[in-house]
């Protein structure tokens, strides 16, 4: 699908490779994010994924 998925989980990082290979746009283990200290890393990833999605849509429309 064209819907990017960012996985935010409490599962260990050993699942990261599998999820990314199955199409996840990004993977975060909750315990390593330290959201109580700020969400800069998560916000930056969301912005990157949205930017990538926007560029892909523009590219698809200009190819039509």
Q: Dump pLDDT digits (tens) for 40-51.
A: 888 899 999 988
Return the pLDDT at 59. Answer: 72
Return the pLDDT at 64. Answer: 57
Buried b (16+ CB within 10 A) or exposed e, 3-38: ebeebeeeeeeeebeebeeeeebbbbbeeeeeeeee
pLDDT digits (tens, 9 = 90+) for 22-64: 989 998 888 877 777 778 888 899 999 988 877 777 777 676 5
pTM of the model: 0.66
How far from 16 is each of 10, 32, 43, 52, CA to CA, in Å? 11, 13, 19, 20
């Amino acid at each position: 699908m064209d819907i990017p998925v960012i996985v935010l989980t409490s599962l260990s990082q050993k699942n990261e490779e599998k999820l990314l290979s199955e199409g996840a746009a990004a993977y975060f283990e909750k315990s390593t994010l330290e959201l109580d200290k700020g969400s800069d890393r998560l916000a930056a990833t969301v912005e990157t994924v949205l930017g990538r999605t926007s560029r892909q849509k523009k590219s698809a429309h200009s190819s039509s």
